[in-house]
Structure 1
Amino acid sequence: MTSIEIRGTDFVVDGRIVNQGRTLDGIPLDGLLLNSRMINGAFDDANPETVHRWAYPDTGVWDADRNTREFLAAMPQWKADGLDAFTIGVQGGSPQGYSTEQPWNNAGFTAEGALQEGYRERLGRILEEADRLGLVVILDIFYHGQDHRLRDEPAIHRAVTEVCTWVLRSGWRHVLLEIANEVNWHNHYTHSLIKAERVHELIALAKSVTYEGRRLLVSTSFLAHPPIITERVVTEADFVLIHGNGTPAPDRLREMVEEIKATPGYTPKPIMFNEDDHFDFDKPDNHMKAALAAGASWGYFDPGSVTTDPPQPTLGDYENGYQAVPVNWGVSTETKRAFFATLRSVR
């Protein structure tokens, strides 16, 4: 059984500081999780008007179970190449990589906040395999453009409580909880409870859910737009989650880490980038190395298209990226190969 704990600013896996004594190009990795956003491993679309968009090129139809089977088949190689953790979501992420509108229905929850059985089953298979392989899972609950499908705040409370209870009662100890993705982009979320000003209430709720004296470690992620953290979240969260998308240069990641540490209420705890769409793995200075050198974990986000400003949506071609559906979960492109080669270069 795989377990995740926190000691000060370090992540601890199976009782040992993760990556202790290891380096990437001379950068110490002690306590840092090398991670990747694999958010749509349990994705499905309950909207008959949009589900055709995700059809596999070889069959002409979308198949949620195939998506999860192929995710499971790819996981051992991710681990062998050096991946420590991945982010996956109950409401997934945009199946177009980036989106301004989201008419599809990634129905992880009922309107009342109950976890849908199909999602529970697919996520459960992924969590079991991650546990077996020794991979940490960052489990995201809510995604913008989909949260409106929950009816009201009681439904949101139920969703958080039900996910926490399910994970704890299943005996999994390798799961970190992310309440919601990018809570500080104000037009993202319908419910005020999931926005930056109030999301600390849900962090506290998740922390209050216990089973046999144990609870989950909880946070929520912020986009790199101000505010990159709030005092209430930095105080309440067990660790800090931040994204590197939209940052102009590696130096900005270093600055963000220092800004977080200077936020009133911050006490020593891990800081993690679990989404960043900047690569340049062959360069001596890049976003990954900047974050790690600043003492923050770093996460690869490959949306499936060339990053543009502003980002543009893309349809999945079953080759590029790890978000645009249908996803090829293998190491199928030069960008993916460059990331995993970087992981293999850790010594």
Structure 2
Amino acid sequence: MAKTKVSIKDGQFYINDTLTYEGRYWEGNKIEGLLMNSRMVQGIFDDQNPNTVGEFVYPDTQKWDADRNTDEFVAAMPEWRAHGLLAFSLNLQGGSPVGYSGHNCRNSAFDAQGELVPAYIDRLERLLNKADDLGMVVIFGYFYFGQDQYLKDENAVLNATDNITEWILDKGYKNLLIEINNECNGPYDHPILTQKRIQELIVRVREKSKGSLLVSTSYGGKLIPSAEVVEVSDFILLHGNGVSKPTGITDMVIKTKNLPSYRGQPILFNEDDHFNYDDENYNFKAAIKSYASWGYFDFRMQGEGFTEGYQSVPIDWGISSARKKAFFSKLKEITGQ
């Protein structure tokens, strides 16, 4: 039986029918009802390509271990939650394991026909169960443009969509926000995963779940969702990558709210790699001032060590680097946790 349920009412997030961060304000800005998050998409990562898996070995063992990755993710979650993190993004096809660049790894919870891969689903269940126990929400991505090419055709995409949606419903998870795919404007191989048609899959999941699942998709940095996507989405996902000035975050929120199909859905940034929290203004703060939730995105940059980032594989899931500590410290301050 699920312990944690996420819901939306009047443009605000609720967990178990209680407003998130209930009663909290920070520097005069309302925090109550927001959903602070971090991009942690590699929680069930594996590489099924024998030619590239050796690139992801742990420094201590010189071996890659998918179960270790998930186990260490699960072990780190209570500390994230204690600092006020209520949500994180996960993707069944991960994200770039080297930051922003493409890679030939093969990482997908779906096989070529869209059937679920048991080992991935086992790791997924362990992770989701822990999130449910902790009262955390998972921004649950189905597809990523670096991996969708391994699905045979559109029927496989539809099969994958239906299979994972049915699995979620069968398991009874209620703490998920479905993100059909990461950045639907990206270079997807299958037209149904592109921004021209992605609303078809949003509607498909909403209908299959009879409205019990909250569904959306995301766009790349600086971009505003289409009116068609906003019309069928339960919440709005934005990305702050490439938005170098906080005023750009403000403008994105304003432009989204000005779309004719916008009807008061909560706006949530779930990817932003700007970390200058000591400045007078910064993206995290700009989002809050616009009453939008914000999500931290950190990857291991060139020349950095194992402790850096939450996307470059292998990953140290602890709050272990200066950037991670700065984010979680600011998060704790803002949320009062």
For the aligned pair, the TM-score class normalised by the smaller chain equals over 0.9
In structure 2, distance between residues paired with 1:238 and 1:288: 22
Task: Give the counterpart of 1:87 among 86, 89, 92.
Answer: 89
Contact 1:316 1:325 in 2 (8 A): no
Contact 1:10 1:270 in 2 (8 A): yes
Post-superposition offset of 1:26: 3.0
Deviations, residues 51-79 of structure 1 (Å, cap 9, x unaligned)? 00000011111000000010011001101
**SS of 2:126 mapped into structure 1:** helix
Contact 1:42 1:68 in 2 (8 A): yes
**SS of 2:270 mapped into structure 1:** strand
What is the letter of the counterpart of residue 192 of structure 2? Answer: L
Q: Which residue of 2 aligns with 1:291?
A: 287
Q: How does 1:65-76 map to 2 (within 5 A)?
A: 65-76=67-78
Contact 2:95 2:146 in 1 (8 A): no
The runs of 5 or more residues in structure 2 that have no matched partner are none
Please say if 1:264 is aligned against 2:260. Answer: yes
In structure 1, distance between residues paired with 2:144 and 2:304: 19
Distance 1:214 1:171, change over 3 A: farther
In structure 1, distance between residues paired with 2:129 and 2:262: 34
In structure 2, distance between residues paired with 1:148 and 1:95: 16
Deviations, residues 29-58 of structure 1 (Å, cap 9, x unaligned)? 121101000110100000011000000011
Q: How does 1:1-347 map to 2 (within 5 A)?
A: 1-99=3-101, 101-185=102-186, 188-210=187-209, 215-226=212-223, 228-305=224-301, 314=302, 317-345=305-333, 346-347=335-336
**SS of 1:11 mapped into structure 2:** strand
What is the letter of the counterpart of residue 161 of structure 2? Answer: V
In structure 2, distance between residues paired with 1:25 and 1:245: 25
Identity of matched residues, %: 45
What is the letter of the counterpart of residue 272 of structure 2? Answer: D
Contact 1:46 1:106 in 2 (8 A): yes
What is the letter of the counterpart of residue 108 of structure 1? Answer: A
In structure 2, distance between residues paired with 1:30 and 1:325: 34
What is the letter of the counterpart of residue 35 of structure 1? Answer: N
In structure 1, distance between residues paired with 2:316 and 2:242: 25
Q: What TM-score comes out, normalization by structure 2 length?
A: 0.96
Contact 1:219 1:241 in 2 (8 A): yes
In structure 1, distance between residues paired with 2:42 and 2:75: 15
**SS of 1:275 mapped into structure 2:** coil
In structure 2, distance between residues paired with 1:288 and 1:225: 15
Choose 60-69 or 14-23, whichever is displaced more: 14-23
Q: What value does the CA root-mean-square deviation take over the aligned residues?
A: 1.3
Post-superposition offset of 1:280: 0.9
In structure 2, distance between residues paired with 1:92 and 1:235: 27
Contact 1:218 1:238 in 2 (8 A): yes
In structure 1, distance between residues paired with 2:159 and 2:10: 31
The runs of 5 or more residues in structure 1 that have no matched partner are 306-313
4+ residue runs over 6 A deviation? none
In structure 1, distance between residues paired with 2:172 and 2:140: 15
Q: Which residue of 2 aligns with 1:310?
A: none
Deviations, residues 175-233 of structure 1 (Å, cap 9, x unaligned)? 11000001123xx21111111111000000111112xx66210000011344x210110
In structure 1, distance between residues paired with 2:304 and 2:176: 28
Choose 21-30 or 111-120, whichever is displaced more: 21-30
In structure 2, distance between residues paired with 1:160 and 1:8: 28
Q: Which residue of 2 aligns with 1:308?
A: none
Contact 2:93 2:107 in 1 (8 A): yes
**Matched positions, count:** 333
Post-superposition offset of 1:283: 2.1
Distance 1:171 1:315, change over 3 A: farther
In structure 1, distance between residues paired with 2:145 and 2:232: 22
Post-superposition offset of 1:24: 3.0
Choose 281-290 or 322-331, whichever is displaced more: 281-290
In structure 2, distance between residues paired with 1:197 and 1:60: 43
In structure 2, distance between residues paired with 1:282 and 1:80: 22
Choose 244-253 or 15-24, whichever is displaced more: 15-24
**SS of 2:196 mapped into structure 1:** coil
